[in-house]
Amino acid sequence: MSQANRGIDDQFPFGQEIAWKPEPDWIEASNLSAFMSKLNIESYDELHERSVGDIGWFWKEALADLEIEFYEDYEQVVDLTDGAEFPKWCTKGKMNIVHNCLDKWLETDVGDSPALRWELEEGASGTMTFRELHEEVCRCASALSQLGIGRGDAVGLYMPMVPEVIIAFLAIAKVGGVILPLFSGYGAEAISTRLNDAGARALFTADGSFRRGKRIDMKQVADEALRSVPTVEHVVVLRRTESKEVPITQGRDHWWHELVPNQPADARTERTDAEEIVMIIYTSGTTGRPKGAVHTHCGFPVKAAQDMRHSMDLKRGETMYWMSDMGWMMGPWLVFGALINGASMMIYDGAPDYPGVDRLWSLVAKHHVTHLGLSPVLVRALKPHGTEPIRMHDVSTLRAVGSTGSPWDPESWKWLFKNVLDSSKPILNYSGGTEISGGILCGNFFKPLKPCAFSGPVIGMDADVVDEGGSPLRGAVGELVIRKPWIGMTRGFWNDRERYLQTYWRKHPGLWVHGDFAAIDEDGLWYILGRSDDTIKVAGKRLGPAEVESILNAHPGVAESAAIGVPDELKGETLVAFCVPGPHTAPDDGLRKELVNLVTKALGKPLKPKEIRFTTALPKTRNAKVMRRVIRAAYLGNDPGDISSLEDPKTIEAIKGAS
């Protein structure tokens, strides 16, 4: 294919050599190998084929492998009477996921092993065993019961990543409540919208938090939000920053340190239905109100734990640290998945490069992290600082690095693989979403890897890549779809059945269309190439932002970039890119010309950028997803829509001021 005809169908890195091959000893010692042995299955491919061929059989076996305990056993693993869009799982079963996270471990050797490792930006750190965490969760659950909060009551979590957010999270589920995780950087309107939508009765918050040494107020933001949320009767406030000026509303507000610690260290775990709602997680749309993904006790937590156990090979005694906020699905994913597996989770309240760019690696070394989850965007930000920040710390405890949030570029992937993983341990690409409860695709310890690639679908996920007519597609880019239900699938959007159906099921009836562009190469390795709604269409050719960004990021003078399509009378759309210059790089016309020529040479003259602008920052969420729709709106002078998930709204001004 000539350069002039290139487009999104050529952007995934065909021709890349295998960079990592699995170790036979690792395979033999893996969780998945033991699972296969119990089932008398000889190969990974056979297991995957059976897992999607008979979903009832597979999820029954997966529940058993995870040792999920029920108070009353289920009658049917899955009931598809209402169609693939609305399956019912573990019918008539009684269980509470907190029993499986904490209670059941108390009489085992897991009980006195670390459940939670934590560190604050200021340097304080600590560890809690399963037994200690259980006691604190009981105290918090008793406090909720004292306030009259119980089964079916929605409770918001607007807190920094400190131990108390984990305690409160589990306590809400323990009493049979509904968890509403809220991003700790939300503004008042975003908080009130979500609390009102779910009819929340209570809220956990903090006086404030710290980010890069600066105190960030949270209580005043919460108070502003609650002025328009009449259903919230109680607010539990954690003293995090020791601020002397914290507004307290008598009768409604309760200090954590006055309410929780004096409660009994044992409390009953509510016997909920397996399909009872445990959590509503809101995702932001480009327009309209946020979508509340509904999850149940036997859904999201089971899928999270199964992904960790089968794909990532997390074992008892190991430590998973996935950089996230509790308001993003990877926060709840971390809590449920690690604890169900009898492993330890690590949380950190602060910036990963503060006070030094080595902070992330110091966390890995200090807390003996075995599984580290980060985003390619963070790697691109750390790479210009070189390898010395890594060499300052012993990161040899790592067995794998997971990545999610955005597509890789080959250079950043190779840098991490070589300098952090000694070119010998895998990068477990992981892609799914809030409505998935984890991953559609993931790396694993069984399949070789190329730079930027996924090994393939997670066991139990019947994923495919299809063309515009819904037919399977190989060797070209198409839509990522899922053909059969899975246990972690959202039970729909809260109070919005039609929007749920329109979002995932209407494009190709019978197929879940996820909204990502994907491809499968000649060796069966998979690639995610960004959101299909981010596609740039130049003169009829589809161009993925990831392709342009990969080219730009490979230039030593570019730290990171974002590509967008803007209206063009002749071509329909044309390409505009925003670049953040690397350290010691002058963002001048010479560099601009170099970058334009680089993209044009790689993609062909028809796809030559209209503009390349230099900016000091890109709009991102706290978990490092670049918000291209916000960049596009800022460039065009349009309303950016919902920006509640932005880590720093000032980055919009940086885009507007780009030159």
DSSP-assigned beta bridge partners for residue 255:
237
540: confidence class by pLDDT, cuts 50, 70, 90? low
> Which runs of consecutive H residues, i.e. helices, occur in 6-96?
24-28, 31-38, 44-53, 55-65
Higher-confidence position of 468 and 287: 468
Any bridge partners for residue 612, and if so which?
577
Q: What is the secondary structure of 361-377 as a DSSP string?
A: HHHHHHTT-SEEEE-HH
* DSSP β-bridge partners for residue 646: 621
pLDDT of residue 13: 53
Q: Are 252 and 235 in contact (CB under 8 A)?
A: yes
Question: What is the residue whose two structure tokens read 């487009």?
Answer: 7
The pLDDT-based confidence of 16 (bands split at 50, 70, 90) is confident
| pLDDT recorded at residue 2 | 34
Same fold, 103-114+124-277 and 535-656: no
517-537 b/e (C-beta count within 10 Å ≥ 16 → b)? bbbbbeeebbbbbbbbebbbe
CATH-assigned architecture of domain 535-656 = 2-Layer Sandwich (3.30)
Residue 312 contacts residue 337 (beta carbons within 8 Å)? no
Beta bridge pairs of residue 621: 646
Per-domain residue ranges of the chain: 3-86+298-530, 103-114+124-277, 535-656
**Which amino acid is present at 147?**
L
Q: How far apart are CA 474 and CA 526, in angstroms?
A: 10
pTM greater than 0.85 (yes/no): yes
- Point out which residues pair with 320 in neighbouring strands: 345, 371
**How does the average pLDDT of the chain come out, rounded?**
92
| Residue 9 clears pLDDT 60, i.e. is over it | no
Higher per-residue pLDDT: 565 or 320: 320
pLDDT (mean) for 89-103: 98
- Strand-pairing partners, residue 430, are 442
Site of tokens 């709009």: 619
Residue type, 224: E
Confidence (pLDDT) at 287: 46
pLDDT tens profile 145-183: 999 999 999 999 999 999 999 999 999 999 999 999 998
- pLDDT tens-digit profile of 40-78? 999 999 999 999 999 999 999 999 999 999 999 999 999
Query: What does residue 451 show for φ and ψ, rounded to 5 degrees?
Result: -55, 135
First to last CA, the chain: 34
C-alpha neighbours within 13 Å on the C-beta side of residue 575: 33
Grouping H, G, I as helix, E, B as strand and the rest as coil, residue 534 is helix
Alpha-carbon distance of 192 to 158, in angstroms, equals 11
pLDDT at position 446 over 60: yes
pLDDT band at 224 (very low <50, low <70, confident <90, very high): very high
Q: Is 567 exposed, middle or buried (0-12, 13-18, 19+ CB in 10 A)?
A: exposed
Query: If you compute the radius of gyration of the chain from its CA atoms, what whole number of angstroms results?
Result: 24
Q: Does 331 have pLDDT greater than 80? A: yes
Q: What is the DSSP letter of 311?
A: I
Q: Decide which of 205 and 186 is more confident.
A: 205
Q: What is the CATH number of domain 103-114+124-277?
A: 3.40.50.980
What mean pLDDT do residues 477-490 have? 96
Among 308-317, 468-477, 634-643, top mean pLDDT goes to 308-317
Pairing state of beta strands 558-568 and 572-581? antiparallel
Q: CATH homologous superfamily for 3-86+298-530?
A: ANL, N-terminal domain (3.40.50.12780)
- Mean pLDDT value across residues 580-606: 87
At residue 284 the predicted structure's pLDDT band, cuts being 50, 70 and 90, is: low
